[in-house]
Amino acid sequence: MMNYKGILEAIYHEVKPLVGKGQIADYIPELAHISPRKFGMAVQTIEGELFTIGDAAEKFSIQSISKVFTLTMAMQLEGDRLWTRIGREPSGTAFNSLVQLEYENGIPRNPFINAGALVVADIILSHLGDARQSVLEFMRQLCGEAEIDFDHAVAHSERETGFRNAALAYFLKSFGNLNNDPTAVLDAYVHHCSLSMSCIEVARAGIYLANKGKLLGNDGRIVRANQAKYINSLLLTCGTYDAVGDFAYRVGLPGKSGVGGGILAVMPKKFSVCVWSPGLNASGNSLAGTKALELFTTLTGMSIF
């Protein structure tokens, strides 16, 4: 049996010199306040065991990790029709590029670049009439706890300064690929990004991706097994900005990062893992977090490759 606790301790020891290194995302003013010294990690196995280290219980802004969960909702709502409005290919360009969108007539390359997540938010809005409360409830269902919430200050901060996302939303609208008012879609989007969760909560929320689409125990099915597989394949090929190849090469797990410094990764049929440390590398992924995951797959000998 895998000694996850020992492995987490070894990782913690080894990445410590990296914690505090890298850049804190400061383009969202509210995020710039966070201490760079934070590091937490939580492993949730499909057998129901939880292993943690460091600041694993501290809430942080999950930012783009939310794209995994909103995509999951959109797959529940739309099934494969989703793919007429969003592609499934790596973008080869920055996560907020408008170039790809122009060349490909308003179809975002995948659901994990910002343009794709805006379309996902639009879909949720169209189906459920609301894309804030419904997402909150979904997150609470995944985590099995009621206190998950948005950080309204972060959402507000991002809305006030996120001119590039506004450009993306209006650009999508100009191609007819948003059905709702761009301001409503942007409002939903920044709230999704502002979800405030701990490593423990994110790891628990993502366990259905390791568990063939189901929550643990008898807590029900989120998506079909093959849909969980599909989401994992998308995470691997598109989940870590323009460092997808590097992340697959070094970590070897499907994963999704956020500029808040969190990363959710999944080992199918085994575990989900969330790591958090605010300092980012040049690709916008957590510097210490990426290293921690790399050590994790090396030390456990578990990667999908």
9 in contact with a copy of itself (CB under 8 A) = no
Cα–Cα dist 248/160, whole Å? 34
| Per-residue x/- track, 249-278, a copy of itself (CB under 8 A) | x--x-x-------------x----------
Q: Smaller CB distance to a copy of itself: residue 148 or 234?
A: 234
Looking from the CA of 120 toward its CB, the CA atoms found within 13 Å total 31
230 in contact with a copy of itself (CB under 8 A) = yes
| Per-residue x/- track, 69-108, a copy of itself (CB under 8 A) | ------------------xxxxxxx---xxxxxxx-----
DSSP states of 85-115 as a string?
Answer: TS--S--SS-TT-SHHHHHTTT--SSTTSHH
Cα–Cα dist 202/64, whole Å? 12
Cα–Cα dist 115/150, whole Å? 21
CB of 64 to a copy of itself, least distance (A): 18
Q: Smaller CB distance to a copy of itself: residue 19 or 264?
A: 264
Total interface residues for a copy of itself by CB under 8 A: 49
282 in contact with a copy of itself (CB under 8 A) = no
- Which residues, numbered 150-189, are part of the site for a copy of itself (CB under 8 A)? 163-164, 166-171, 173-174, 182
DSSP H helical ranges for the chain: 4-15, 66-78, 99-103, 114-128, 133-143, 152-161, 163-174, 182-193, 199-205, 207-210, 225-238, 244-250, 287-300
300 in contact with a copy of itself (CB under 8 A) = no
110 in contact with a copy of itself (CB under 8 A) = yes
Assess contact for 77 and 126: CB atoms under 8 A. no
List residues near a copy of itself by CB under 8 A: 87-93, 97-103, 109-110, 163-164, 166-171, 173-174, 182, 228-230, 232-234, 236-238, 242-246, 248-249, 252, 254, 268, 303-305
